[in-house]
Amino acid sequence: MKRIVLLYADAGGGHRSAAQAIAAGIRMLYADRYEIQFVNGFRLLPPLLGRLDIDYPMWVTYGRMLYALGFHISNGRRQVVAIRRAFEPISDKLAEDIIKTAPADVYVSCHLVYNQTMPSVIHRLGNPAKFMNVVTDLVAGHAAHYAPDVDYCIVPNEESARDAIANLVPAEKVIVAGQPVLPDFQQRLGKRRETREALGLDQSMPVVLLMGGGDGMGRLELTAREIAFSNLPVQLIVVCGRNQRVKHNLEFINPRIPMRVFGFVDNVPELMGAADILVTKAGPGTIAEGFIAGLPIILYDRVPGQEEGNVDYVVTRGAGAWCPFPWVVVKQIRQWLSEPGRLEALSRASAALAKPDSALEIAKIVARLAGD
């Protein structure tokens, strides 16, 4: 039985979700033909470095200026090569430890930290394993996503494909497959009326779904409070992810509209199937899911640098709006509700960007690399 190792990091939850979606695609197409293992390489690093992915929400919430500065200063081919050389003793040892502790026929990277090192170490050791990376930013991702010596570089769209080629990845190695989303996501959306009934929602009122990624980052609580006290003619669902503090705070307010608050959930497809409008941080995974659900999308926050391009991608294609302040979110919802034709146009534009079979397409590429 051939072995597939999916490399990820717990930096915000999106990388783990992408890996899980790809694994689900492999299992859906090939059942038990492959042994699949998930590996977070950060756990193999020394203690201080091993916490970098866990501390990611803190940096993007409380250290935004420093995070943005670091992103932009390091975002270039020459800078990536220089950083690679500076950290070579640590990064090469990490790659060697991964290969030793998690041997595989194919390594699939869902986080950029592995892309500059793993292929070269695999080749240096004479290991026959293949390596492919999956770019988990919609557009304008960091240059470290792209490495010329990978076997395949999987990107979500044509814009990202151009970035890959500009960063010296041979064009024949670049494949546009979409952002990895669970392969059964579209089927789980269901019919809106039936889904709302199952969730105990009012059939006569629009549903606004508010999300902040797996870690409930950004201005989630402030935005939830603004909508909750707005008197908008909607019912609000708030998904706080792993952010228990925000969940606890929101459970003790007295909203003026019907509101339900959840922590980390495993029924996002069903919630999106019940919704009329999605309000979210500009995370690529949630945006891709919103496209599949055909939802108009309001983006209320973004991680500096890496998610700025996601905002432009949604807005310029007519699928949503950028509303960086809570009161602007409320104003935009009110405006959309007063223009049903506009909501329908946004919904069509959003659905036109969907790639519901992304995980299955990536699974086929994995199988190709495995020699099947």
Q: 142 with 234, same domain?
A: no
Strand 235-239 to 207-211 pairing: parallel
Tokens at residue 215, please? Answer: 């870690």
For residue 229, the one-letter residue type is F
Q: 163 with 227, same domain?
A: no
Are 363 and 30 in contact by the 8 Å Cβ rule? The answer is yes
Strands in 152-155's sheet, in edge-to-edge order, are 34-40, 2-8, 106-109, 130-134, 152-155, 174-176
Residues lower than pLDDT 70 in the chain: 11-13, 48-62, 140
Q: What pLDDT sits at residue 140?
A: 67
Q: 251 with 146, same domain?
A: no
Q: 191 with 155, same domain?
A: no
Concatenated DSSP letters for 34-57? Answer: EEEEEEEGGGGS-TTGGGTTTTHH
Q: Please give the backbone phi and psi of residue 278, each rounded to the nearest 5 degrees, phi first.
A: -105, 125
Distance CA(30)–CA(123), nearest Å, equals: 28
Q: 45 with 125, same domain?
A: yes
Q: What pLDDT sits at residue 215?
A: 74
Q: What pLDDT sits at residue 179?
A: 93
- 3-state DSSP assignment of residue 32: coil
Q: 332 with 363, same domain?
A: no
Are 85 and 92 in contact by the 8 Å Cβ rule? The answer is no
Distance CA(185)–CA(177), nearest Å, equals: 16
Q: 69 with 128, same domain?
A: yes
CA distances from 288 to 85, 144, 268, 359, 364 (A): 35, 22, 12, 12, 20
* Contacts with 294 (C-beta within 8 Å, 6 or more apart), sequence order: 347, 348, 350, 351, 354
The CATH number of the domain holding residue 22 is: 3.40.50.2000
Q: What pLDDT sits at residue 122?
A: 95
Q: How many domains does the chain have?
A: 2
Q: Please give the backbone phi and psi of residue 71, each rounded to the nearest 5 degrees, phi first.
A: -60, -50
Tokens at residue 241, please? Answer: 């992810």
Q: 92 with 194, same domain?
A: no
Q: What pLDDT sits at residue 105?
A: 96
Q: 176 with 219, same domain?
A: no
Distance CA(70)–CA(48), nearest Å, equals: 18
Q: Which domain holds residue 85?
A: 2-183+357-369
For residue 183, the one-letter residue type is P
Determine the Cα angle at 69 with ends 53 and 17, to 5°: 30
Q: 45 with 172, same domain?
A: yes
Distance CA(266)–CA(284), nearest Å, equals: 18
- 3-state DSSP assignment of residue 232: coil
Q: 170 with 300, same domain?
A: no
Q: 22 with 117, same domain?
A: yes
